Structure 1
Amino acid sequence: MSGLRELKKRRTYEAISDAAVGLFLERGFDAVSVAEVAAAAEVSKPTLFRYFPAKEDLALYRFADHEDESARVVRAGRAEGLGALDALERHLLERLAARDPITGLCDEAGVLAYQRMLYGTPSLEARLFTYLRRSEAALAGVLGEGVRARLAAGQIGVVLRVLALENWRRIEAGESAEAVYAGAVAEAREAFRQLREGLEV
């Protein structure tokens, strides 16, 4: 029964977020009120706020699934006998090959429109860092304890963000994902080489 409740809850999250993102892309994030999102999603405002405490969370829900992704990748890699950086690099290269939007290497029109909204709205960029901090905290918990683990997680998080932003900027400037791919792979490999020279995790 709890499994069905969780599925229903997840679908409600997705339905509300999808309705919100549709409105935000159509009219702009700042031009849409929470009341309009609630009406479009056919829920009350109190219900909406139970699921999404802040308006920005409506737009950023799709990042929620990625919050513990790096931590999960490291755990799975260690089960295979891989070090943390090896597991994370392999995962990033796989995601680049799949043109995963989280890597910035995706030139689908809908993804680009969403990213323009995200990086063009200061309040969304600021809120995104809340998600990124939680992601780094989860990764630090897997890497070890204390300041050293937090520093390592922070450095890895910065590398992943910088690589994704660079890919997005090139595509936003007019290049195709296919044209950017080889350079993105080379930059990812170089970034992880630099991490290995400075980190032992």
Structure 2
Amino acid sequence: MKTEAILDAAAGLFAGRGVNAVGMGEIARAAGCSRATLYRYFPDRHELHVAFVQREARRIGGLLPTDDPVEAILAALREVRARPELLAWFGAADAGTTAELAQSEAVVGMLGDGETARWLVRVIVSLLIVPGRDETEERALVERFVVPGVLGARR
């Protein structure tokens, strides 16, 4: 049994039921393994959540443009919104878990510079939990507030 198969099984369950509604036993069954096997790979649900978020952050990060921070943020939003297993993390029942995990070093540390990374994660999580009316409004918000305040020195 590979961790990828377990995370894939979890993804399907997250998409269908939400993140916090899914137990480790359900994930083990969906992955076709025992709970003991699952716990060898992931000692608890939090560790499974961290591994899932890190995997998906790496996947999305590999798809983003690197030359335009506004486009990168908007592309990240589009990618999450297009995938039910990711969008599930931003519903009302799971937003608290997402916010806590998003600010953890396990996630922020993947992005580099602590303060800037922490702020960018907050912006993206905020826009996923409380979206703008449309992408045009979100682009305007990112250009007006994020770029000058967080990324201005890098441009």
The TM-score by the shorter chain falls in which range?
0.5 to 0.7
1:115 maps to 2:90: yes
Partner of residue 72 from structure 2, selected from 79, 85, 95: 95
Is the Cα–Cα contact under 8 Å of residues 106 and 177 in structure 1 kept in the other structure? no
CA shift for structure 1 position 28: 4.0
Gaps of 5+ in 2: none
- The match for 1:131 is 106
- The match for 1:20 is 10
Is the Cα–Cα contact under 8 Å of residues 19 and 37 in structure 1 kept in the other structure? yes
Is the Cα–Cα contact under 8 Å of residues 107 and 177 in structure 1 kept in the other structure? no
Residue identity matched to 2:44? A
CA shift for structure 1 position 53: 2.5
Name which one, 1 or 2, has greater alpha-carbon Rg: 1
Is the Cα–Cα contact under 8 Å of residues 118 and 125 in structure 1 kept in the other structure? no
Q: Equivalents in 1 of 2:79, 2:142: separation in Å?
A: 8
Q: Report percent identity of matched pairs.
A: 21
Partner of residue 38 from structure 2, selected from 42, 48, 56: 48
Q: 1:161 to 1:29 in 2, by over 3 A?
A: closer
Aligned length: 148
Secondary structure of 1:161's aligned partner: helix
Residue identity matched to 1:15? A
Partner of residue 123 from structure 2, selected from 163, 183, 191: 163
CA shift for structure 1 position 91: 5.6
Is the Cα–Cα contact under 8 Å of residues 29 and 117 in structure 1 kept in the other structure? no
- TM-score, with structure 1 as normaliser: 0.54
CA shift for structure 1 position 168: 2.0
Q: 1:161 to 1:113 in 2, by over 3 A?
A: same
RMSD: 3.7
Question: Greater helix share, 1 or 2?
Answer: 1
Q: Equivalents in 2 of 1:26, 1:162: separation in Å?
A: 25
Is the Cα–Cα contact under 8 Å of residues 21 and 59 in structure 1 kept in the other structure? no
- The match for 2:142 is 184
CA shift for structure 1 position 131: 1.4
Residue identity matched to 1:13? T
Q: Equivalents in 2 of 1:178, 1:40: separation in Å?
A: 39
Residue identity matched to 1:114? W
Q: Equivalents in 2 of 1:160, 1:179: separation in Å?
A: 17
Is the Cα–Cα contact under 8 Å of residues 16 and 48 in structure 1 kept in the other structure? yes
Q: 1:163 to 1:133 in 2, by over 3 A?
A: closer
Q: Equivalents in 2 of 1:55, 1:183: separation in Å?
A: 35
